[in-house]
Structure 1
């Protein structure tokens, strides 16, 4: 005798925090790697759910962070590595803010250029700047050396 609302809650609700939802199955670990590189996230309790059923996606991952605020540079890094995820702010167990993140058209000082001869690698104080080749391809072009890279092959800059 199971009712629709009687499903067991696999990951407990949080009273105050951030939920990163609609992560393609298997990509939760990528986001966790980004989050763990930031010093301010070292002591934050994190719950990672992998390969959950989803009506929209078939399977998905989910991350819950017990922190009130997620820094904009962390959100930008997430949007670059796994665009399309939903970031929800939770207060008193309820969603009070929700945004679906997309990869930005211009990425400044968030990624390292892989070209060893690029000016950004030769002059350490240089800013990096990449521009999206197009919105669908997940490729970016370095504004300095003009090489094109897949987003997945570039290392994030963590300051």
Structure 2
């Protein structure tokens, strides 16, 4: 007898974002407005993971993310995978790659930056340095660790 049981129910069609670092699921739901689609969303927090110990997972019924939207997730969950589901089967599994730029997601930590006092969209250039993600502001040109840049 097989005692294996899914912690989060399977979906027939849609998207599964798997291997999200534990605790980042809510930030991804909020930042990517995943509840605004009007579709059923199932979220699992602190689920067991063989590779990382614990993970979050998000399942969105009836919604498929394009490559651009999926890769934006890499700023929150660089090792996540985005799986397209059709008829309960994974038909496409994508590993994420960091985008070259990101707009309107983060706020520049530099209080003297033009993005604080002017009606402009935030914009950062994304860089990898020694395994860490860095964001360089388009306006003030200062570079910050991803963790020090807050959501807009």
1:107 to 102, 109, 114: 102
* Corresponding residue for residue 17 of structure 2: 20
Over the aligned positions, Cα root-mean-square deviation in angstroms equals 2.6
TM-aligned CA distance change 1:141 to 1:133, over 3 Å: farther
Shift of 1:139: 2.0
Contact 1:34 1:77 in 2 (8 A): no
- Using structure 2 for the length normalisation, give the TM-score: 0.81
TM-aligned CA distance change 1:131 to 1:22, over 3 Å: closer
Higher strand fraction (1 or 2): 2
- Number of corresponding residues: 152
* Corresponding residue for residue 87 of structure 2: 92
* Corresponding residue for residue 120 of structure 2: 125
Worse-superposed segment, 119-128 or 82-91? 119-128
C-alpha distance in 2 between matches for 1:97 and 1:11: 20
* Corresponding residue for residue 30 of structure 1: 27
* Corresponding residue for residue 140 of structure 1: 135
C-alpha distance in 2 between matches for 1:127 and 1:141: 11
Larger Rg belongs to:
1
Contact 1:17 1:64 in 2 (8 A): yes
Contact 2:35 2:41 in 1 (8 A): no
